[in-house]
Amino acid sequence: MAATTDLRRIPARKLAELGAIGPRLQRLVDAVGTRPLAALLDINHGDLSRMVAGQRPVPQEIGKRILDLDHLFARAIQVFGDGKVVIDWLDGIEPTFGYGPPIAVLAKRGAAPLLDVLERIESGADS
C-alpha cells in the first residue's frame, strides 16, 4: 500500500522546476542533435536553434511536443533497453498503426498512442 504524504510539505517552487522545458530540450538536443530533433518536433531547424540558445521562447505547443518526446524516449529505453532498438521501432512498422512507422503517429497524434503500445509490448500483449 502506498504511503500517504502531506502534499503541502512539497515545495511548490521545486515542483514547478519539473515542468521546465529548457533542460529537457537541451537533453534531447544532446541525445539526438538539433536537426534530427527539429524534424521529430516538426519545426524549423533555425527556430529550434534559437530556442536552444535562449534567443526565442519555446511556444506552448512545441513545449508539449518536447515533453511528449522526452517521455517517449525515456519510456522506450525502459521497455527496449537499447537506443538502437528504440530507433528501429520508431522508424519500423507497427501493426497497431496500420503497419506504418510509430514516428509518423507521434507527429500527428502525440506520444499517448505510442506509450500505450509500449505498455502492451512490456506486458507481453504485443509480442
Beta-carbon count within 10 A of 93 CB:
11
d(CA 20, CA 23): 7
Q: In total, how many domains does the chain have?
A: 1
Any idea what DSSP says for residue 33?
Answer: -
Can you give the pTM of this predicted structure?
A: 0.81
Query: Looking at residue 126, what is its pLDDT?
Result: 64
Comparing 57 with 19, the larger pLDDT belongs to 57
d(CA 8, CA 67): 26
Instruction: Tell me, yes or no, whether 6 lies in a domain.
Output: no
Instruction: Tell me, yes or no, whether 68 lies in a domain.
Output: yes
CA distances, 87 to each of 54, 93, 102, 121 (Å) = 28, 12, 10, 15
Question: Does the structure show a pLDDT above 70 at 66?
Answer: yes
Instruction: Tell me, yes or no, whether 15 lies in a domain.
Output: no
Instruction: Tell me, yes or no, whether 96 lies in a domain.
Output: yes
Instruction: Tell me, yes or no, whether 12 lies in a domain.
Output: no
Instruction: Tell me, yes or no, whether 4 lies in a domain.
Output: no
User: 3 is written with which cell numbers?
Assistant: 504511503
Instruction: Tell me, yes or no, whether 11 lies in a domain.
Output: no
Full residue range of the structural domain in which residue 76 is found: 20-123
pLDDT digits (tens, 9 = 90+) for 1-52: 456 677 777 777 777 777 789 999 999 999 999 999 998 888 999 999 999 9
Instruction: Tell me, yes or no, whether 10 lies in a domain.
Output: no
Query: Looking at residue 3, what is its pLDDT?
Result: 63
pLDDT digits (tens, 9 = 90+) for 67-92: 999 999 999 999 999 989 998 999 89
SS3 at position 20: coil
